[in-house]
Structure formats: structure tokens, C-alpha cells
Amino acid sequence: MRSLVIYFGVLMCSNVVIAETDNSNKPIKNNASSQLQTLSDKYPWHQWKKVGEATLEWGIWDIYNSELKTPTGRYNGTEEDLALIIRYLRNIDRDALLDATEEQWQHLGYSSQQITPWLKTLSTIWPDVKKGERLTFIFRNGEGQFYQQGKPLGKILSPSLSQSFIAIWLSPKTSYPELRQQLIGK
């Protein structure tokens, strides 16, 4: 199945390129960046209401602060529109983010046949993050979009990838149930 992935050139003056990819995640054709209309442009998620917030701690270290927002300020399940905002409290490179994501998906019971293409897609989108930077994931109508510091990184058109990413924090089977409870306002 073909998917549309938006690449963000972190090292190339913040140029956004739209690239159509096949299952091997190889670009097929590029379109002009002027054609990009982000979810932020269409839907003012930054005006949504906070549902909850939490800090992930690992031992004596704080890893990140997270916040969940929805249009209503209530969490009714992962099918609804939501914004997950993560502010990192440490420098973390892209490979470490990908490894942690893979571990969480394995914990949730996803198969390697599902995980492998998802990680390939995310590896083309995610940058290294520095202490104090924010990564935001917006989910609306089955689409997802990642932002770093408010700038678009990449668009996810695969509902299964978007849902699996959200599940890391919001699934009842998450590795961090206390964090989930705080995020969903319980």
C-alpha cells in the first residue's frame, strides 16, 4: 500500500518536502513544498483544551513532560482528535527514540511485520531532540502529523501507525499506567 510521507530537512534550512513512498519507504516522486497544508493550518490544535499532563521519570532522571489536549478538554478514546505534546528534559537522539518506540510497541503486542515499516517511516521523520524541545503529534480523522517546536516534521496517513503511536501513552496496556491516568485526566 502506498503512503504519503512528509520529510522535514532539519539540516537543510527547514525545507519541507513531500515525498510519496512505496512499502520499501523509498521516495517515488517529490511535490512542491507549497502544496503542504499542515493539520495545524487546517485545525488550530494549539487552542484545544488540556486533558492532563504527566512527567516520565526513569530512576532519578526526568525524561520528558507530556500533555494531552483535545477540542473539548476530555479524553473519550483514541478515535477522537487529540494532540500529544512532549517536551524533552534531556538530549535524545533519533535512534534512541526509535529504539524506545520499538520496545513500547513490542510491549503492546504488535508484530514485527507491523513494527518494521512503522519504524522505517518514523526514521525518515524524526530528528534528534535537544533538552527543552517539543515534539507534538496531532491526530485528526485518522491522520497524524509530527511537529518539532511547532514546525511540521512529517505527516502520517496510515491510521494504524497513528493509532499505534498514540497507544504507547494511551492504551490501557501501556508500560506506564500512572502516566496514562494523569494524561487522560484521571
Instruction: Please state whether 124 falls in left (phi above 0), alpha (psi between -120 and 50) or beta.
Output: alpha
- Distance from CA of residue 137 to its chain's centroid? 4
- Domains annotated on the chain, with CATH: 44-183 (3.50.70.10)
pTM: 0.76
CB neighbourhood size of 11 (10 A): 8
pLDDT, one tens digit for every residue, the chain (186 residues): 222 222 222 222 223 333 333 343 332 223 333 334 444 455 577 789 999 999 999 888 899 999 999 999 999 886 789 999 999 999 999 999 999 999 999 999 999 999 999 999 999 999 999 999 999 999 998 889 999 998 999 999 899 999 999 999 999 999 999 999 999 998
Alpha carbons 4 and 120: distance in angstroms, whole number: 13
What's the DSSP call for residue 71? Answer: S
